[in-house]
Amino acid sequence: MEVREHEPMSRHTTFGAGGAADWFAIPESEEELVTVLTKCRNAGVPWYIIGNGSNLLVSDNGFHGVIVSTERLCALTVTPGADAKTVYLTCGAGALLPRVAVRALKEGLTGLEFAAGIPGSVGGAAAMNAGAYGGEIKDVLCSLTVLSPEGNVCELETKDLAMGYRTSAVMEQGLLVLKAVFALEKGDPAAIQSRMEELLEKRKEKQPLEYPSAGSTFKRPAGYFAGRLIEDAGLKGLSIGGAQVSEKHAGFVINRGGASASDIFCLCEEVKRRVLERFSVELELEVRLLGRF
Ligand SMILES: Cc1cc2nc3c(=O)[nH]c(=O)nc-3n(C[C@H](O)[C@H](O)[C@H](O)COP(=O)(O)OP(=O)(O)OC[C@H]3O[C@@H](n4cnc5c(N)ncnc54)[C@H](O)[C@@H]3O)c2cc1C
């Protein structure tokens, strides 16, 4: 398996920031993934799994251990269901949602239109229960094959995955997603394509896609929208180093060029502080942090 030494994580995160991983392993199969994780566990070496790094901020000090990437576990398989309507799409953990959504479209399957513009992997999206425009992974997920912290591979149905707003048993129980099965329905390809295009257009119009970011930086606090609170606190454009609260969408912290992970982190902390001071609402990061901050 390919294992790189001192791999800069700025190459593997959509923020384009962060220090190096001591080791960066890229398994080619589920078996290799299980082997590398088992070896790390047995040897007491710290490890972390990533998909597309689109919801991740790695410290400038890097990560002292092994980062395992699922990027090569990206096979897609289509299987007809027992009834005439349902079709199953099985995806390797590293398959990227835009590619999965395009495959669904090609097969004339509806259900994943909301995911076409989410730049994450299936494993990361299942862990986070990613969602957009009224759709969430849990609505279309049938089951996950996971590796448990004890080293057992098992298949879990969606009802057993405690999927909620940007959370799941995958995250809470330290499970590792090896593959996912989506249950989709046959639909009208023209309608599926038009819905995908409409949602992609909305993203282009509203989101600062021209800059590196991790999407919405903060979770939606109950009863509010994070972006609205940040905008109403007058924080659009606030910068620390190369990190900035986007002028286009206040819910996004962007890398305007050369931002360090520390710039991004400190800006997030400042935004939290000012929103709390102004509105007594505590923002919580949606972005996952790795390493020392
Ligand atoms: C421009 C932009 C737009 C975005 N829009 C949205 C949106 O509309 N909705 C939304 O929900 N998110 C959005 N995001 C955030 C992000 O794309 C999603 O959260 C995505 O699901 C993260 O997947 P990933 O593979 O990149 O995960 P990573 O960033 O690699 O990892 C995120 C977390 O998942 C864990 N993880 C990754 N793979 C696995 C695995 N195989 N098994 C177990 N745990 C795993 C990691 O350890 C980490 O804790 C956006 C991001 C960007 C940059």
User: At 283, which CATH number?
Assistant: 3.90.78.10
- Tell whether ligand 1 has an atom less than 6 A from the beta carbon of residue 56: yes
The answer on pLDDT for 89 being more than 90 is yes
pLDDT tens per residue across span 189-239: 999 999 999 999 999 999 999 999 999 999 999 999 999 999 999 999 999
Residue 60, classified by CB atoms within 10 Å of its CB into exposed (0-12), middle (13-18) or buried (19+), is buried
Domain membership of residue 282 (yes or no) is: yes
What pLDDT sits at residue 208?
A: 98
Q: Is 179 in the same domain as 92?
A: yes
Cα 255 to ligand 1 centroid, rounded to whole Å: 17
166 is catalytic: yes
What is residue 121's DSSP assignment? Answer: B
Instruction: Give the domain range for residue 274.
Output: 226-290
Looking at residue 150, the DSSP 8-state letter turns out to be T
Is 286 among the catalytic positions?
yes
Task: Decide if 77 contacts 155 (C-beta within 8 A).
Answer: no
Residues 97 and 154 in one domain: yes
Answer yes or no: is pLDDT of 154 > 90: yes
Eight-state DSSP code of residue 95: -
**83 with 120, same domain?**
yes
d(CA 64, CA 58) in angstroms, rounded, equals 11
Total structural domains in the chain? 3
| Residues 63 and 91 grouped into a single domain | no
Q: Does residue 189 sit in the same domain as residue 246?
A: no
What's the CA-to-centroid distance between 114 and ligand 1, angstroms? 15
Q: What is the DSSP string of 215-260?
A: S--B---TTS-HHHHHHHTT-TT-EETTEEE-SS-TT-EEE-SS--
Q: What pTM, to 2 d.p., does this model score?
A: 0.96
Give me the mean pLDDT over the 241-264 stretch.
Answer: 98
Q: Confirm or reject: Cβ of 98 under 6 Å from ligand 1.
A: no
CATH number of 47's domain? 3.30.43.10
In a shared domain, residues 59 and 173: no
Residue 215: inside a domain, yes or no?
no
> pLDDT at position 82, please?
87
Best of 66, 128, 145 to mutate for ligand 1, by most ligand atoms within 8 A of CB?
128
Q: Work out the mean pLDDT of the chain and round it to a whole number.
A: 97
Rounded CA separation 54/41 (Å): 25
Of 199, 59, 49, whose CA–CA distance to 127 is shortest? 49
Do the domain assignments include residue 171? yes
Same domain, 193 and 89: yes
Q: Are strands 243-245 and 253-255 parallel, antiparallel or unpaired?
A: antiparallel
In this prediction, residue 84 has a pLDDT band, given cuts at 50, 70 and 90, of: confident
Selection from 78, 71, 76, 115 nearest residue 94 by Cα: 71
